[in-house]
């Protein structure tokens, strides 16, 4: 079965195993964004650069988002109770949705509006060197946060045999996805701001700076929409990855009491949390009372996996086709 003795258990990172790593990733991102937001705000006020103002808004939005992501992680890991027998995992997607909406409003919309205002009412920037310095420092902090989030994502992707980008998009952990996307957008935004500031300095025109602000806003808008869409899909109901399905199917077939599996459904009910529903044919031809007890025992063994919140199994019909994992 999926247990400490079975290597298939390690095929799926659990909520407990991934939760601590995700919290560390978010805490690092929060610290980096808070320091950067303060620095960018001060320098933006000194220089008057529109793109730096957009970057400051971006960093403040990210800082607020990390708080919401921490709330998401803490609330989603609460154990099941009588009111929520499948746990509180989906709360993670609700709070992550709020964070993505905050990024859209506080980051994207404000940056675009400020850029448009800069086009309508041009203002000359000053102290360009100070602007470059704060962007360079921001790149170091954002890069550190991005390295941490990518390190976590790469380890999980390797476990699930996924491409890194594919894993970040498809992972059931919304906090990991949000931090990777936001940090990546931050690095791109810093490059845009530096280019806009440089062209402003060279040409003496504030138009490139204002356009930089708009481009940063558009970038944040795209990121926010992608994050909102992914959280929406998990709230509506996302199917488990095919590799995870195969792992659970093989775990069932490896059980001494299971002859075959004819139906299997895996509902994602939170970050690295599954609800297993299936139909199985038990070995032998036992009495009804014995069959019920053996069926409950198989369910209990499934629940020993840290990723399985609950499992409900029924008996297969004699004429139902068997599910066969690849390679068997």
pLDDT, tens digit, 9 for 90 and up, residues 192-241: 999 999 998 999 888 998 999 999 999 999 999 999 999 999 998 888 88
Domain end among 215, 236, 257:
236
Note whether 66 and 173 are same-domain residues: yes
Write out pLDDT tens, residues 94-112. 999 998 998 888 888 888 9
DSSP H/E element including 256: none
Residue numbers of the domain that contains 254: 242-315
Q: Are 110 and 220 part of one and the same domain?
A: yes
DSSP type of residue 317: P
Q: What is the pLDDT of residues 175-199, one digit of tens each?
A: 899 989 989 999 999 999 999 999 9
pLDDT band of 83, cuts 50, 70, 90: confident
Question: With bands split at pLDDT 50, 70 and 90, how would you rate the model's confidence at 5?
Answer: very low
Rounded-to-5 percentages of helix, strand, coil across the chain: 70, 10, 25
Return the CATH number at 294. 3.30.70.1350
Count of domains for the chain: 2
Which are the contacts of 302, defined by CB distance < 8 A and separation ≥ 6?
1, 2, 248, 251, 252, 276, 308, 311, 313
Q: Residue 84 — left, alpha, or beta (φ > 0 → left; ψ -120 to 50 → alpha)?
A: beta
Tokens 């700076």 identify what position? 209
What mean pLDDT comes out for the span 155-184?
A: 89
138 and 67 within one domain:
yes
322 located within any domain: no
State what percent of residues in the chain have pLDDT above 70.
92
Per mean pLDDT, which range of 11-25, 114-128, 186-200, 248-262 is the poorest?
11-25
Q: Which of 22-31, 53-62, 218-227 has the highest mean pLDDT?
A: 218-227
Q: What is the pLDDT of residues 274-322, one digit of tens each?
A: 999 999 999 887 666 688 889 999 999 998 888 898 999 999 988 899 9
Residue 261 has pLDDT above 70, yes or no: yes
Rounded Cα distance, 94 and 98, in Å: 7
Domain-terminating residue out of 236, 255, 288? 236
**Helices and strands, number each (H, E), in the chain:** 10, 3
Tokens 């690295």 sit on residue: 272
């Amino acid at each position: 079965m999926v247990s400490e003795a079975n290597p298939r258990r390690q095929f799926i990172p659990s909520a407990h195993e991934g939760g601590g790593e995700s919290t560390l990733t978010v805490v690092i991102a929060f610290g980096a964004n808070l320091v950067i937001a303060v620095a960018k705000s001060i320098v933006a006020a000194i220089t008057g650069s529109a793109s730096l103002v957009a970057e400051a808004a971006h960093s403040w939005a990210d800082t607020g988002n990390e708080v919401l992501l921490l709330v998401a992680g803490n609330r989603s890991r609460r154990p099941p109770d009588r009111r929520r027998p499948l746990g509180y995992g989906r709360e993670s997607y609700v709070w992550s949705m709020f964070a993505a909406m905050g990024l859209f409003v506080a980051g994207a919309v404000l940056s675009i509006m400020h850029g448009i205002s800069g086009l309508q009412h041009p203002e000359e920037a000053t102290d360009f060197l100070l602007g470059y310095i704060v962007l360079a420092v921001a790149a170091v902090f954002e890069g550190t946060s991005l390295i941490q989030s990518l390190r976590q994502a790469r380890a999980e992707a390797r476990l699930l045999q996924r491409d890194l980008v594919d894993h970040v998009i498809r992972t059931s952990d919304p906090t990991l996805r949000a931090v990777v996307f936001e940090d990546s957008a931050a690095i791109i935004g810093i490059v845009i701001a530096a280019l806009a500031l440089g062209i402003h300095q060279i040409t003496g025109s504030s138009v490139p700076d204002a356009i930089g602000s708009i481009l940063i806003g558009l970038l944040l808008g795209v990121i926010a929409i992608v994050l909102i869409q992914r959280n929406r899909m998990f709230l509506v109901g996302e199917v488990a990855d095919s590799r995870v399905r195969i792992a659970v199917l093989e775990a069932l077939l490896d059980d001494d009491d299971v002859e075959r599996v004819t139906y299997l459904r895996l509902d994602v009910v939170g970050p690295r949390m599954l609800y297993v529903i299936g139909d199985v044919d038990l070995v032998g031809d036992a009495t009804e009372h014995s069959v019920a007890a053996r069926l409950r025992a198989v369910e209990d063994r499934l629940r020993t996996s840290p990723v399985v919140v609950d499992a409900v199994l029924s008996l297969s019909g004699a004429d139902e086709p068997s599910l066969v994992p690849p390679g068997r």
